[in-house]
Amino acid sequence: MRRWRQGTQRSGRAAPRTRAHREQARVRSAWRGRREPATCGGRIRAASCAGAGTDALRRHPRGDGRARTIEAVSSATPTRIHADRPGGTLQLDWADGHHTVYDFETLRLLCPCAFCRGEAGLPGWLDSAPTLTTEQTRLVDVQMVGNYAIAPTWGDGHHTGYYTFAVLRDRCPCPECSARRAAAGEQPRSGHLAHAAGGPSSGPHQKESR
């Protein structure tokens, strides 16, 4: 007489499920119901600033699209990023209610890429405090980099700078944040940051090689 092992099929019929099988199915079902990670107000949509004024980041709710309350998570968490090309500014609203406005020249002078800031102990292009051209301060596009930074594209083609939200909040040029940094005795971290803060400009800019 042929014996059939438990869990195999016989005559086209499925073998009865054991208690262990039923428990595994119950656990899988419960896990599927809670595996989607929680977000702050819904999805994050990335967009370019090809229009006159564009929100590069906006928190959108799932479902009918009606506005939902966004809980403050951190002072370095933006809830909205708006590129105002006619006005020449990048505006950021933060989860704690703070509002930051960068003009495009200051934003370009804060570029953190290796070409602009230098690497391996060598100075960067912006450390020479160059005089920027109109194209070098014309914002063409801005894209999200994950959930932590933005990457602007400038009129001269430069696009390798990833501006983290933490840096954008830390270097906020508003009077309140400027006073806080001054009270803390903070010094500009490099020559181009001093220039962005209103330091002297010297010499013509070098031609960028990308």
Q: In whole angstroms, how far apart are CA 206 and each of 7, 86, 128, 190?
A: 74, 27, 9, 18
Residue 27 lies in a domain: no
Residue 57 lies in a domain: yes
What CATH number corresponds to the domain at position 165?
3.30.2020.30
Who contacts 209 (Cβ-Cβ below 8 Å, separation ≥6)? 115
Per-residue pLDDT tens over the stretch 149-181 = 999 999 999 999 999 999 999 999 999 999 999
Residue 1 lies in a domain: no
Domain that residue 182 falls in: 43-196
Residue 30 lies in a domain: no
Residue 204 lies in a domain: no
Per-residue pLDDT tens over the stretch 24-67 = 554 344 333 333 332 333 333 334 444 445 555 544 444 444 43
Residue 171 lies in a domain: yes
- Global pTM value: 0.58
Total count of domains within the chain: 1
Distance between CA atoms of residues 29 and 117, nearest Å: 51
From the number of C-beta atoms within 10 Å of its C-beta (0-12, 13-18, 19+), residue 184 rates as exposed
Residue 62 lies in a domain: yes
Distance between CA atoms of residues 160 and 108, nearest Å: 11
3-state secondary structure of 109: helix
